[in-house]
Amino acid sequence: MAKHVEYSGRLRLHKFLSEPAELMAFKSAAPHFLHLQKKKYRKQRRTLRRYFADDSFRYLPRDNAPKKSIAKYWSYRHDLFSLIDQGNIHLTEELWYSVTPERVAKFTAAFIEACLPGATTILDVFCGGGGNVVHFAKVFQKVYGVELKLEHLYCTYRNAEAYGVADRVWLKHGDWLQLAARGRFERVHVDCVFASPPWGGIDYTKTQAYDLETQLQPAGLSQLLSSFLRISANVVLFLPKNSNLQQLSEITRSLLGPEAKCKVLYARENGRDKGLLCFWGEAFYNFDAASPANSGERLAARLQEAHDLYG
Ligand SMILES: C[S@@+](CC[C@H](N)C(=O)[O-])C[C@H]1O[C@@H](n2cnc3c(N)ncnc32)[C@H](O)[C@@H]1O
């Protein structure tokens, strides 16, 4: 159904949502997209409304690999989202190859929770399709997600719904570098900053030692890390498996002093390295997984799920 409506003093053709259920879905989701109710973001709000109306980017279990380019990732779909067969997972083509595998995301959330008992709030700076967000939201009360692409932010919300945690997720559309330059999140309570920045495409493995200053996007590690440390002393990054460790150590010392350390875990799945989990912050260096205090049933169960991720 199409109808003319008055909008900003001009007549525009506006397609109304035809299904009340879709309208309801958008209405209940809208408050979780921070600031989009402001007038200056009306274009983004309309786009978001359309995604909900069209139920965009949903993959149904009966689908075959939707495109040749993602056939390889389609065969690993249960490693990305174990609930994918329920038909509620939403992914853009780009997200098929950039989303964090579920077991890595579960382990990351469990490990952060174990190191920071009492933490309530985490910020995922490049939240993509919510591969990490959904598992953070299982263990933390509040998860902020920042993302440049509105369609990815929408997928994050829909995937959080699929995992029953959408009420804990708060999403901000924008470019992190601009948000950081404006000091966004510096006055918000955040116990830990997590980031899985773009690695620069699938060619990242072609160099022997991945250059963390020139290859990482949208900025080098020094700039990204210093922007995160302004928000929290606890920072976790998911970086390429071939990252230059010498450079990692030098950047850590130049930002945090000559004695500073970065804890690095190799994330492995099915015997294959997926990337490095890099941790900054006393609570992470001092965590002793073998101590009886940390061998509670909950953590043990989570770590068991991810037992092959330790390097
Ligand atoms: C590797 S993906 C993150 C995947 C995510 N952890 C997940 O599991 O779905 C990196 C994301 O960063 C986003 N991105 C790139 N540049 C950005 C920027 N300047 N600000 C915010 N997000 C950005 C990309 O659109 C992409 O979705």
Which two structure tokens, joined as six digits, stand for 112? Answer: 């952060």
Q: Could you read off the pLDDT of 170-187 as tens digits, one per residue?
A: 999 999 999 999 999 999
Residues pairing with 212 in the sheet: none
Residue 67 has pLDDT above 90, yes or no: no
- pLDDT category at 299 given cuts 50, 70, 90 is low
Pocket of ligand 1 (CB under 6 A): 98-100, 126-132, 146-149, 152, 175-177, 196, 198, 218
| Model confidence at 114: pLDDT above 50 | yes
* pLDDT for 298: 57
Distance of CA 175 from the midpoint of ligand 1 (Å): 10
Average pLDDT, the chain: 89
- CB within 8 Å of 159: residues ≥ 6 apart: 81, 88, 89, 90, 129, 130, 131, 133, 134
Stretch 195-224: mean pLDDT: 94
Superfamily of domain 28-61+68-309: Vaccinia Virus protein VP39 (3.40.50.150)
Write down the domain spans for the chain. 28-61+68-309
Q: Is the pLDDT of residue 240 over 60?
A: yes
For residue 86, the SS3 value is helix
Q: Mark out the alpha helices in the chain (DSSP H runs).
A: 20-29, 42-54, 71-74, 77-80, 93-98, 102-115, 133-139, 150-162, 176-181, 221-229, 245-256, 282-285, 297-305
pTM above 0.95, yes or no: no
Are 50 and 156 spatial neighbours (Cβ–Cβ below 8 Å)?
no
State mean pLDDT over 270-298. 82
Q: What is the pLDDT of residue 168?
A: 98
Residues 234/283, Cβ–Cβ less than 8 Å: yes
Phi, psi of 97 (to 5 degrees): -105, 5
Q: Which atom of ligand 1 is nearest to the CA of 199?
A: 1
Decide if pLDDT at 4 tops 80: no
CA of 148 to the centre of ligand 1 (A): 7
CA distances, 138 to each of 168, 207, 309 (Å): 9, 36, 20
Question: Where is pLDDT greater, at 9 or 74?
Answer: 74
